[in-house]
Amino acid sequence: MEFTTQNPHFRETILGHLERQEFMKHIGCVLTLIEPGHVEAEIELRTEHQQQLGLVHGGVTATIADVAAGFAGFTLVAPHEHTVTAEFKCSYFRKGRGKRLRAVGRVVKPGTNMHFCEADVFCIQDDGTEVLIARATTTMAVIAP
């Protein structure tokens, strides 16, 4: 699907918003691709991302999915608008264990007041292979603060 952006500076705007999100800095989340309706995010995994069994904590998986899906929706809003998560569901398919998480967020259906988005979360194994570990579906509300 091809999308039309309303903000010609959407990439710079998104990077500015991410820079002001202290929690994203804390967990080491970076955006690696920002295109209309499509955003990819990565986290280099460290011990603080693990739960008690040494697996990636489900909250970390959900967070990177929310960021990728949310910013995918944000690529389509006007300069004076924002997106916030109105609904979020994450399905976990496999345990997360490896060196990096990568989330691929995309707009499924844009709207005037809501964007419907998804994000797939992959865990990159030590040998470089990617394993799909989760998928999130989201509703992003379009707001003008």
Q: In CATH, what number is assigned to the domain containing residue 82?
A: 3.10.129.10
In this prediction, residues 8-30 reach a mean pLDDT of 97
Give the total number of structural domains in the chain: 1
- Crossing angle (nearest 10°) for helices 58-74 and 10-19: 150
> How does residue 144 score in pLDDT terms, banded at 50, 70 and 90?
very high
- Residue 77 belongs to what domain range? 10-143
pLDDT the model gives residue 71: 98
Q: Residue 101 domain-assigned?
A: yes
Q: How far from 71 is each of 14, 48, 95, CA to CA, in Å?
A: 7, 24, 25
Q: Residue 2 domain-assigned?
A: no
pLDDT in tens, 38-58: 999 999 999 999 999 999 999
pLDDT in tens, 98-125: 999 999 999 999 999 999 999 999 999 9
Q: Residue 41 domain-assigned?
A: yes
> How does residue 1 score in pLDDT terms, banded at 50, 70 and 90?
confident
pLDDT the model gives residue 145: 79
